[in-house]
Structure 1
Amino acid sequence: MGTIVRSANAFGVRQIYVIGRRQWNKRGAMMTDKYLHITYLGSTAEFVEIMRTEGREIIAIDNIPGSVNMSQTSLPKRAVLVFGQEGPGISAELAGAADQIVAIEQFGSTRSINVGAAATVAMYCWLQQNVLAENS
């Protein structure tokens, strides 16, 4: 979580939602959590309701069946990127609520990359498609 918060700060993210447990290792965030709005929610249903009300598309990042390769998708400007818990990934409830599930292509012997690394890759991909492309 600390790596996700630190990367979010580096890429100009303003809002982070944490579903479930409120405790996480803030040391890895290197104090960048002080510059972001972090909202804690008790359930996935509450999160989904807020995103629908705000008109945001829920883009889950996970390499589960039915996911689309990141290189073959456009991440919407009004997207909220969702990352699952280290190990189990996104929940079935969240997968069902997602507008799109996107996988980061991988070519080595490991099945997945660390959630902090995946979040960093996905945030940069969104930034590249929605901010950097517009400024070039």
Structure 2
Amino acid sequence: MTTEHRETGWEDREVGVGPWEGPWPEGEQWDPELLAEGDRRNVADHYRYWTVDAIVADLDTRRHPLHIAIENWQHDFNIGTVVRTANAFNVAGVHIIGRRRWNRRGAMVTDKYMHVHHHPTVEAFLAWADAESLPVLGVDLFEDSVPIETFDFPQACVMVFGQEGPGLSEAIHADAQATLSIAQYGSTRSINAGSAAGIAMHAWVRQHGGSVR
């Protein structure tokens, strides 16, 4: 432990809130166990002491019409980070393409508050997107990719991210309405898939996100 941490008391800082003080509030959104024992979850302050179901129901009233899809052919550890970021932007749904199982550690339990869907194949995913009339937008570096910084996003759409390393599959690339590139100025060819997803979602939010609650 560093001297700075000892001096600031960083190691003693508590996360969340303790048991509710005073008369308990009334309403179905409140969780009796959390009211009694405290709420140490990674949730916004206005959701403290709420049940998971109540939080999901409230989020559902203001989900963005943006969907996020991740290809999962090799158990990509970035998926958890992408899901956590998707939760922060309150997207309509997260779609796992390929393997059903994925490493949830990086999601920090935020997947509980999301609608997570599985598509076993690219074809199944594309059929779903077509049935929902959602434009598919890939995010990767291809010869025909267009800059995400100047792209005019449709309000309702689904952005797809590929595996760390191999990147977006050719099947998604071929069927996507557009493939978007993120401007880079250093020596690396590509950035981490989790970071790319955060940048891409924020680019959409800047155009269609509206005000924060």
CA apart distance, 1:24 = 1.6
**2-structure distance, mates of 1:100, 1:94:** 10
Query: 67, 83, 102: which one pairs with 1:24?
Result: 102
Is the 2:100–2:120 Cα contact (8 Å) retained in structure 1?
no
- 1:111 equivalent in alignment to 2:192: no
The CA distance in 1 between the partners of 2:114 and 2:209, in whole Å, is 19
Residue 72 of structure 1: how far off its partner (Å): 2.0
2:141 to 48, 52, 63: 63
Match of 1:46 among 118, 121, 124: 124
Which residue matches 2:180? 102
- Number of matched pairs: 134
Q: Which runs of 5+ in 2 are unaligned?
A: 1-78
Q: Compute the displacement of 1:14 (Å).
A: 2.7
Q: Is 1:124 the equivalent of 2:207?
A: no
Paired residue secondary structure (1:14): strand
2:166 to 56, 67, 88: 88
Find the structure with the greater CA-based Rg. Answer: 2
Structure 1 segments, 4+ long, off by >2 Å, are none
Partner of 2:114: 36
> Which residue of 2 is the match for residue 10 of structure 1?
88
Distance 1:103 1:114 in 2: 13
Which has the bigger relative contact order, CA under 8 A and spacing at least 6?
Answer: 1
* SS class of match (1:51): helix
Counting aligned pairs with the same residue, the percent is 43
